[in-house]
């Protein structure tokens, strides 16, 4: 009771504070920018109002690299800023450095008052088929609005013609006296919202308290929705740096992360067996895994992944190759800052000179670097795509890339080591994984994919999800690896077409095999296949055979006894949904995460009451 009252009081207090500050801050523009006929001057549609302590200030805007604006120089000239400022702020090597499409670029602008609005003015030449809306939304990603453009130029959108020069007011603001004096805010950054962003995610990315961002935009916890192609102001104490802004916060592992101790009769059996047979069992399992891992050459899978690195081998020079050719050229600047660049000697000693005893098949090796386990993969060809992608991802359920090494034309990627190896080595035996562990693994995989689909920027499709590409850590929590085939679907339609169908037999969705259509639903299909393997303990070819012989999925599950019987129908329904032939009928990954969390909770309570 008391804490409830406190919470209510706190809320009221918070809103009172919010209210008293409201007039001094800038309202969030919301959705009104999509309708050019609305010119509601109670919001900031026409621009942020000129209420800063200083009439002119340095501020920052974010922009996502997108052709034709994907190099330092093209972006700098669009915003009429000095390209050396842009390259240093974004850790770009030269002004011709090109950013991967969708990468966030931070641009410094001078913000000043123009009438009652604060803005940074750009000169812009009208292109074929431009409209105010297109310039504001598509070209500038929400950094201006059609309403502001029309007001600024006093010409209607219909009267624009190619070659005409107009002034584009970029939305920016200077901190108010209160922000400067009481909150220590020195800069306001106009951040362009993309899909998957929330005020929380954006704030954390720049190390700002969420409530500060909410207040700066006159938003509240209850009303914190943000829309793509609009701007939100981020109150910053220090100039933004690309390093902290591009490393998304590690999303907390799902609530189910700690497996609750089992309080049941069965537990005692486990404990007893554990105490008595622990050492024996462990060594047997270890030996078994060792043999399994060693016996199963992963060459096929590995080479398949490497095929996708189509870039040429870097040229070798006679003398010191590493100084002649800068392999870091293909990497985004921020990668070099967040990842460790290993010396080849470190890797050599970690893997006893890449001897077979540390090999895990193919070109994978296990070793110890500074006391920590690491998985090392050698890649002949261009690995910069995989490095750039993995360096942007930070999620408990996705294998972390800790660094890399470039030596004599080959890349060596160093990943975190998931000590229990790949899932495929574990799913077949009932005694190795309990039903709760199986469902937790499925939920982990779904959570990792959900991050790739809905929170990575731009979104990615893994394209090669299978039991060999999922790794288990010491607590049997799953991590998705081998992202060598991952493909961005960009920010547009949510799908791309490819003529190059790659992946693993049995996991490929019909629309991909037939039309090369790549969307997140491709991973949903593969997840459905993988989930059915996890809950039946049979691999995809076995399953296919038994189903062709007329066994229903449901029977297989009941017979297999991998799951409590009461959960079978829920899991079967989920699998069926994921395997729907029409990709549009399949659920999205966030829906799957939700269903699986419910099933897992039920499984835990079943297990503890057993
Ligand atoms: C909003 O616009 C109206 C008329 O266009 C004007 O009278 C009013 O002062 C404006 N309000 C603000 C806050 O600028
Ligand atoms: C835009 O053009 C005007 C007139 O040509 C010029 O005075 C101004 O400096 C230009 N602004 C920028 C930011 O280049
Ligand atoms: C402009 O629009 C016309 C028709 O509306 C189209 O044919 C043309 O390809 C477009 N041009 C560009 C550059 O998009
Ligand atoms: C705004 O621009 C984006 C990116 O080009 C585009 O995908 C989106 O459809 C545009 N919004 C509207 C309402 O046209
Ligand atoms: C905008 O243009 C119209 C005529 O085209 C003119 O009457 C009006 O004064 C102009 N307004 C401003 C603010 O320049
Ligand atoms: C405001 O202007 C003063 C004097 O030019 C400067 O020292 C201060 O840093 C400025 N403050 C902000 C927040 O831009
Ligand atoms: C924001 O929340 C944190 C704790 O979550 C609190 O310490 C801080 O005072 C709050 N700031 C404002 C401006 O309300």
Which tens digit of pLDDT belongs to each residue from 62-92? 999 998 899 999 999 999 999 889 988 898 8
Q: Is 473 a catalytic residue?
A: no
Cα dist from 319 to 314, 330, 382, 411, whole Å: 14, 22, 21, 19
- 481 and 393 share one domain: no
Nearest protein Cα to ligand 2, atom 6: 123
Dihedral pair phi/psi, residue 437, rounded to 5°: -65, -40
Cβ proximity of 26 and 103 under 8 Å: no
- 24 and 111 share one domain: yes
How deeply is 259 buried, as exposed, middle or buried, from its count of CB atoms within 10 A (0-12, 13-18, 19+)? middle
Q: Does the pLDDT value for residue 461 go beyond 70?
A: yes
Q: What is d(CA 92, CA 182) in angstroms, rounded to the nearest whole number?
A: 35
Dihedral pair phi/psi, residue 60, rounded to 5°: -130, 150
Q: Is the CB of 229 under 6 A from ligand 4?
A: yes
Output the pLDDT for position 326: 55
Number of domains in the chain: 3
Helix (H) or strand (E) segment spanning residue 132? helix 132-133
pLDDT classification of 269: cutoffs 50, 70, 90? very low
| Ligand closest to the CA atom of residue 124 | 2
| Ligand closest to the CA atom of residue 151 | 5
Q: Is residue 292 part of a domain?
A: no
Picking from 358, 382, 416, the residue at the C-terminal end of a domain is 416
Cβ contacts of 20 within 8 Å, gap of 6 or more: none
Q: Is residue 102 part of a domain?
A: yes
Output the pLDDT for position 359: 80
Output the pLDDT for position 505: 82
Cβ proximity of 10 and 2 under 8 Å: no
Given ligand 3 and candidates 128, 138, 139, 160, which is best to mutate, with the most ligand atoms within 8 Å of its CB? 128
Output the pLDDT for position 334: 55
For residue 210, report the distance from its CA to the centre of ligand 7, in Å: 8
3-class SS string, 137-186: HHHCCCCCCHHHHHHHHCCCHHHCCCCCEEEEEEECCCCCHHHHHHHCCC
As for ligand 7, residues whose beta carbon falls within 6 Å of it are 209, 211-212
Other C-beta atoms closer than 10 Å to the C-beta of 172 total 28
Q: Does the pLDDT value for residue 362 go beyond 80?
A: no
How deeply is 329 buried, as exposed, middle or buried, from its count of CB atoms within 10 A (0-12, 13-18, 19+)? exposed
- 360 and 431 share one domain: no
DSSP string, 417-467: --TT-BGGGTTT-TTTS-HHHHHHHHHHHHHHHHHHHHTSSS-EE-----G
Output the pLDDT for position 32: 74
Q: Does the pLDDT value for residue 216 go beyond 90?
A: yes
SS3 518: strand
For residue 66, report the distance from its CA to the centre of ligand 4, in Å: 13
Q: Is residue 257 part of a domain?
A: no
The mean pLDDT of 187-193, rounded to a whole number, is: 95
Q: Is the CB of 323 under 6 A from ligand 3?
A: no
Output the pLDDT for position 187: 94
- 395 and 493 share one domain: no
- 153 and 171 share one domain: yes
As for ligand 2, residues whose beta carbon falls within 6 Å of it are 80, 123
Catalytic residue, from 425, 444, 464, 523: name it.
Answer: 464
For residue 348, report the distance from its CA to the centre of ligand 6, in Å: 53
Nearest CA among 263, 556, 282, 608 for reference residue 436: 608
Q: Is the CB of 54 under 6 A from ligand 6?
A: yes
In terms of phi and psi (left: phi > 0; alpha: psi -120 to 50; beta: otherwise), the region of 494 is left
Output the pLDDT for position 610: 58
Q: Does the pLDDT value for residue 459 go beyond 80?
A: yes
Output the pLDDT for position 257: 33
CA angle centred on 10, ends 7 and 15, rounded to 5°: 130
How many CA within 13 A on the CB side of residue 290? 9
String of b and e for 413-443 (b: at least 16 CB within 10 Å)? bbbbbbebbbbbbbbeeeebbbbbbbbbbbb
Q: What is d(CA 597, CA 211) in angstroms, rounded to the nearest whole number?
A: 29
3-state helix, strand, coil in the chain (%, to 5): 45, 15, 40
For residue 113, report the distance from its CA to the centre of ligand 6, in Å: 15
Q: What is d(CA 294, CA 296) in angstroms, rounded to the nearest whole number?
A: 6
Q: Is residue 366 part of a domain?
A: yes
For residue 228, report the distance from its CA to the centre of ligand 4, in Å: 9
Domain with residue 377: its CATH number is: 3.30.200.20
The mean pLDDT of 246-258, rounded to a whole number, is: 39
pLDDT classification of 133: cutoffs 50, 70, 90? very high
Q: What is d(CA 554, CA 391) in angstroms, rounded to the nearest whole number?
A: 41
- 431 and 410 share one domain: no
pLDDT classification of 106: cutoffs 50, 70, 90? very high
Q: What is d(CA 297, CA 360) in angstroms, rounded to the nearest whole number?
A: 8
Picking from 397, 416, 435, the residue at the C-terminal end of a domain is 416
Q: What is d(CA 364, CA 374) in angstroms, rounded to the nearest whole number?
A: 10
Q: What is d(CA 229, CA 579) in angstroms, rounded to the nearest whole number?
A: 34
pLDDT classification of 110: cutoffs 50, 70, 90? very high
Q: What is d(CA 593, CA 448) in angstroms, rounded to the nearest whole number?
A: 10
For residue 142, report the distance from its CA to the centre of ligand 4, in Å: 10
- 474 and 391 share one domain: no
More confident residue, 429 or 311: 429
Q: Is the CB of 68 under 6 A from ligand 3?
A: no
Ligand 3: atom nearest CA of 129 is 1
Output the pLDDT for position 491: 60
More confident residue, 211 or 457: 211
The mean pLDDT of 243-261, rounded to a whole number, is: 39
The mean pLDDT of 357-383, rounded to a whole number, is: 83
Output the pLDDT for position 330: 62
More confident residue, 405 or 276: 405
What's the pLDDT tens digit per position in 340-359? 889 999 998 888 888 877 88
- 96 and 200 share one domain: yes
Q: Kindly state the DSSP code that residue 326 receives in the 8-state scheme.
A: -
> Which residues in 505-610 belong to E strands, given as ranges?
517-519
Q: Does the pLDDT value for residue 586 go beyond 90?
A: yes
More confident residue, 134 or 495: 134
What's the pLDDT tens digit per position in 301-336? 333 332 222 222 333 333 333 334 455 666 665 565
The mean pLDDT of 108-130, rounded to a whole number, is: 92
- 402 and 432 share one domain: no
For residue 558, report the distance from its CA to the centre of ligand 1, in Å: 69
Q: Is residue 399 part of a domain?
A: yes
Picking from 396, 416, 436, the residue at the C-terminal end of a domain is 416
Cβ proximity of 236 and 187 under 8 Å: yes
More confident residue, 429 or 189: 189
User: 422: which strand partners?
Assistant: 471
What's the pLDDT tens digit per position in 516-555? 888 999 999 999 999 999 999 988 888 888 888 888 888 8
More confident residue, 275 or 329: 329
In terms of phi and psi (left: phi > 0; alpha: psi -120 to 50; beta: otherwise), the region of 207 is left
The mean pLDDT of 569-589, rounded to a whole number, is: 94
Q: How far is CA 385 from the centre of its chain?
A: 15
Q: What is d(CA 356, CA 247) in angstroms, rounded to the nearest whole number?
A: 36
- 603 and 555 share one domain: yes
Q: Is the CB of 129 under 6 A from ligand 3?
A: yes
Q: Is the CB of 34 under 6 A from ligand 4?
A: yes
Domain with residue 499: its CATH number is: 1.10.510.10
- 33 and 170 share one domain: yes
- Mean pLDDT of all residues belonging to the chain: 79
User: 64: which strand partners?
Assistant: 104
The mean pLDDT of 547-564, rounded to a whole number, is: 85
Question: pTM surpassing 0.75?
Answer: no
Q: Is residue 283 part of a domain?
A: no
Helix (H) or strand (E) segment spanning residue 214? helix 210-216
- 82 and 208 share one domain: yes
The mean pLDDT of 577-595, rounded to a whole number, is: 94
What's the pLDDT tens digit per position in 30-59? 877 777 877 776 778 899 999 999 999 999
Cβ contacts of 351 within 8 Å, gap of 6 or more: 358, 365, 366, 367, 376
Q: Does the pLDDT value for residue 171 go beyond 80?
A: yes
Q: Is residue 253 part of a domain?
A: no
Ligand 6: atom nearest CA of 186 is 13
Output the pLDDT for position 28: 87
Output the pLDDT for position 300: 34
Domain of residue 221 covers: 15-236
- What percent of the chain clears pLDDT 70, i.e. is strictly above it? 79
Ligand 7: atom nearest CA of 211 is 1
CA angle centred on 506, ends 504 and 511, rounded to 5°: 90
CA angle centred on 606, ends 602 and 609, rounded to 5°: 140
Other C-beta atoms closer than 10 Å to the C-beta of 225 total 11
- What percent of the chain clears pLDDT 90, i.e. is strictly above it? 35
The mean pLDDT of 436-454, rounded to a whole number, is: 95
Given ligand 7 and candidates 209, 218, 235, which is best to mutate, with the most ligand atoms within 8 Å of its CB? 209
Q: Is residue 191 part of a domain?
A: yes
Q: Does the pLDDT value for residue 377 go beyond 80?
A: yes
More confident residue, 235 or 564: 235
Cβ contacts of 69 within 8 Å, gap of 6 or more: 63, 75, 78, 139
């Amino acid at each position: 009771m008391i804490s409830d009252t406190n919470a209510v009081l706190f809320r009221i207090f918070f809103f009172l504070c919010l209210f008293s500050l409201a007039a001094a801050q800038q309202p969030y523009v919301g959705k009104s920018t999509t309708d050019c006929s609305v010119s509601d001057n109670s919001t900031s549609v026409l621009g942020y109002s000129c209420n800063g302590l200083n009439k002119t200030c340095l501020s920052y805007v974010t922009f996502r690299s997108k052709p034709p604006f994907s190099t330092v120089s093209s972006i700098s000239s669009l915003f009429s800023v000095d390209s050396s400022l842009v390259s240093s702020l974004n850790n770009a090597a030269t002004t011709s450095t090109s950013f991967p499409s969708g990468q966030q670029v931070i641009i410094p602008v001078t913000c000043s008052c123009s009438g009652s609005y604060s803005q940074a003015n750009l000169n812009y030449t009208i292109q074929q088929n431009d409209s105010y809306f297109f310039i504001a939304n598509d070209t500038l990603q929400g950094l201006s609005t059609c309403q502001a453009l029309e007001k600024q130029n006093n010409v209607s959108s219909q009267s624009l013609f190619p070659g005409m020069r107009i002034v584009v007011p970029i939305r920016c603001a200077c901190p108010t006296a209160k922000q400067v004096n009481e909150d220590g805010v020195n800069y306001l950054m106009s951040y362009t919202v993309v899909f998957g962003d929330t005020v929380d995610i954006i704030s954390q990315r720049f190390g700002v308290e969420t409530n500060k961002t909410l207040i700066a935009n006159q938003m509240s916890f209850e009303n914190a929705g943000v829309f793509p192609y609009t701007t939100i102001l981020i109150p910053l104490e220090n100039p933004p740096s690309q390093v902290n802004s591009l490393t998304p916060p590690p999303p907390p592992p799902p609530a189910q992360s700690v497996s609750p101790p089992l309080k049941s009769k069965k537990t005692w059996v486990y404990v007893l067996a554990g105490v008595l047979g622990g050492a024996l069992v462990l060594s047997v399992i270890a030996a078994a895994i060792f043999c399994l891992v060693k016996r199963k050459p992963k060459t096929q899978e590995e080479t398949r992944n490497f095929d996708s690195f189509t870039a040429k081998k870097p040229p070798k020079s006679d003398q010191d190759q590493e100084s002649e050719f800068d392999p870091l050229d293909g990497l985004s600047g921020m990668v070099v800052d967040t990842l460790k660049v290993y010396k080849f000697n470190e890797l050599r000693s970690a893997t006893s000179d890449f001897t077979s005893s540390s090999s895990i098949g193919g070109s994978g090796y296990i070793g110890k670097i500074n006391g920590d386990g690491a998985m090392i993969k050698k890649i002949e060809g261009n690995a910069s795509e995989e490095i750039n992608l993995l360096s942007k991802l930070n999620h408990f359920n996705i294998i972390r890339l800790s660094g890399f090494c470039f030596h004599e034309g080959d890349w060596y990627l160093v990943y975190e080591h998931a000590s229990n190896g790949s899932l495929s080595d574990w799913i077949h035996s009932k005694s190795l994984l309990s039903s709760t562990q199986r469902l937790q693994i499925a939920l982990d995989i779904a959570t990792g994919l959900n991050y790739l689909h809905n929170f990575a920027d731009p979104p990615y499709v893994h394209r090669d999800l299978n039991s060999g590409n999922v790794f288990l850590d010491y607590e049997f929590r799953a991590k998705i690896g081998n992202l060598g085939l991952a493909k961005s679907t960009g920010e547009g339609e949510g799908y791309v077409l490819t003529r190059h169908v790659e992946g693993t037999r049995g996991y490929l969705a019909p629309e991909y095999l037939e039309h090369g259509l790549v969307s997140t639903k491709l991973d949903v299909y593969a997840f459905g296949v993988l989930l059915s393997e996890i809950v039946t303990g049979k691999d995809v070819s076995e399953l296919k055979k038994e189903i062709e012989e007329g066994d229903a999925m449901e029977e297989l599950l009941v017979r297999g006894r991998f799951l409590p019987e009461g959960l079978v129908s829920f899991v079967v329904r989920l699998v069926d949904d994921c395997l729907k032939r029409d990709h549009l009928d399949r659920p999205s990954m966030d829906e799957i995460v939700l269903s699986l969390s419910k099933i897992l909770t039920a499984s835990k309570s079943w297990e503890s009451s057993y």
